Every structure is written in C-alpha cells, then in structure tokens.
Structure 1
Amino acid sequence: MAEEVGLTIASALVGTAATDASLGLDRHWRNLRVHDANDWRFAKVGAWRLDGTPPGKPFRRLLR
C-alpha cells in the first residue's frame, strides 16, 4: 500500500521525468519500487517457520 501511494505521489509531482538519471531522482524512484516492507516481513516470518530463526525485535513485539 505504501509503495502504491509513494509511486502515485511521485508520479503526480514530477511524472516520468523522475526516472531521468540527469535529475538524480531515479534512485528514489527505484527505492520506492524495491524496498517494500511486506517483502521483508514475509522473509523474516518464512525464515522463522522454515529454520527456526527468530524474527527481530519489531516482530517479537507483535507476537506478545
């Protein structure tokens, strides 16, 4: 959800020009696409389920 909102706002503000490397905004555009909190959460929970690796502090607080 946050990814979609971020991309919508970025598109509304600068449009496709944000992907132009000369503006230096391309890395922020890519970060919105790549760094999704749900992907990290799924990986941590999956590792816990598969090999018993306990999730980090933010996840442990949710399990109490």
Structure 2
Amino acid sequence: MLKVLIAAVFLAMLTSLLMGAGYLIRDDSRSRRLLTSLKVRVSLASLLIALLLYGFYVGDLGRV
C-alpha cells in the first residue's frame, strides 16, 4: 500500500511539473499559476520524502 502511495505522489509531482512548464510557456508575467504549481510541487516533494523516510523506518522499503 505504501509503495502505491509513493508512486501516486511521484506521478502527481510529475503532473505538477508538466503543468508548470505549460504555464511558463503560455501565461503572461502577471499570472500566479506558475507560482502555485511550484508550491504544490514543493509540498508534494516534502510528502514524498516523508513517505520514503517512513517506509525505510518501518522496514517496508528496505526488504527485497
């Protein structure tokens, strides 16, 4: 279950990255959507690191 959650957060980060790239290309300089996309991406990255640390701590990700 944890691995699926990690994969979902990673895919959400990639989606946010692609959306941010699209906003960078299309929007004018006054648009705040790029900044919002960056905030979401940083939050998701923090969540991903926390999930990875938790997975290694409890041993779910350390086993082969």
Same fold (TM > 0.5): no
Greater RCO, 1 or 2 (C-alpha within 8 Å, sep 6+): 2
TM-score scaled by length of structure 1: 0.43
TM-score scaled by length of structure 2: 0.43
